[in-house]
Amino acid sequence: MRSDDIITLFHDLGVQGFEKKPDAMRTTEKLKQKRPLLNRINRMLKELVDQEYITKKKDGKEFFVDITDAGSHIACVSGLIKK
């Protein structure tokens, strides 16, 4: 997933703090709207990265998140996803 994909997912799920989605155009205003959302995502993902449930890679201005085998197992056991 790309960072924009995560913002869209959280927006669509109605996650608190993601009610307003940044505009689609790449403008200074959009970047001002996106920065706090990215900071919030980073705080949320840090614990999952620390527990090795996900990996996070940065490529330029984007970051990508992949679920690990351990993360997939935990998500299945918790009932969040079905495999």
| Residue 1: pLDDT over 80 | no
Name residue, tokens 């997912």: 9
Residue 22 lies in a domain: yes
Residue 83 lies in a domain: no
**What's the rounded Cα separation, in Å, for the pair 43 and 38?**
9
pLDDT the model gives residue 81 = 66
Query: H or E segment at 18?
Result: none
Residue range(s) defining the domain that contains residue 33: 3-78
Name residue, tokens 């703090």: 17
Name residue, tokens 């969040």: 80
pLDDT the model gives residue 83 = 53
Of residues 24 and 21, the one with the higher pLDDT is 21
- Domain total in the chain: 1
Return the amino acid letter for 66.
D
pLDDT the model gives residue 19 = 84
pLDDT the model gives residue 2 = 77
Helix 3-13 to helix 28-50 angle (10° resolution) is 90
pLDDT tens-digit profile of 22-72?
A: 766 567 777 788 888 889 888 888 999 999 999 988 888 777 889 999 998
